[in-house]
Structure 1
Amino acid sequence: MESLSAPVGRGPVPWNWLLLAVSLLNFWSLPTTAQLAIVSTNATEGQDVILRIRNKPPNVRGFMWYRGEEANYKHNIARLGMLQGHRPGPEHSGREQINFDGSLLIKNVTVKDTGIYTIVVYLPDSKKEIGFGRLNVYGE
């Protein structure tokens, strides 16, 4: 009687090579970059709110915040550059401030502050990234 622990010779199994190839491709593929975004936030009227940035790239040179879905100067709230400091834009109400981490503080929010916000992050070599998020403000 033969031992059952000995391998049974079945010949090559072709799907093993396919499995090996897929495993190697997964191992060698470069990770995808995460998309810059604003963390969507809910608030009650009268609260102070911080709109935070998700997936902020390294080596940021400046930030520019906008109301709405586009980076149009007419909708600019404020900008913060590493050399120029904080500068208000046409949509600045006096309640907004950009923090050094790039987040936007809005004091005493109102229902009118509800909507989409846009952030433009300025990087070295004149590169930039853009992200979006939503602020929902509810009445008391």
Structure 2
Amino acid sequence: MIWGAMSSAGVGPLCFVKSREIMEHFMLPSADELYGNADFNFQHSLAPPHTAKSTKTWFHDHGITVLDWPANSSDLNPIENLWIIAKRKMRDMRLNNAPELKAAIEASWFSIIPQECHRWIISMQRRIEAVIDAKGAQTKY
């Protein structure tokens, strides 16, 4: 598994997940880098580890507001578009081992420019309207 962060200012670091320390060692530093002292809302994919009681407690204890949004709503999660972009950049690569794969993932992720991130963030109003219009069904996003 890979954890990544993004904001309208660009992408944050990637973490190739090995432990639950990801929030402490990657999410918080990424938030500091991307937002400084500004307030932000955290959005996650609602995977079971993200919704566990211990994770909810961790967010509460650190004063982090978690965006309340419906499960399985990739339409409303702009980072999913960045993963698609990163995967597309790797489509024709022939990789021989795990280190080559990791390097290719990092190279494709960090080639995503801040303007691309900003574009997906500002699309949220249109995404929300599209989901409402589709009565919760899948949209073009």
TM-score grouping bracket, smaller chain normalisation: under 0.3
Scaled by the length of structure 2, what TM-score is found? 0.26
Greater share of helix: 2
User: Which protein is bigger by CA-based radius of gyration?
Assistant: 1
Scaled by the length of structure 1, what TM-score is found? 0.26
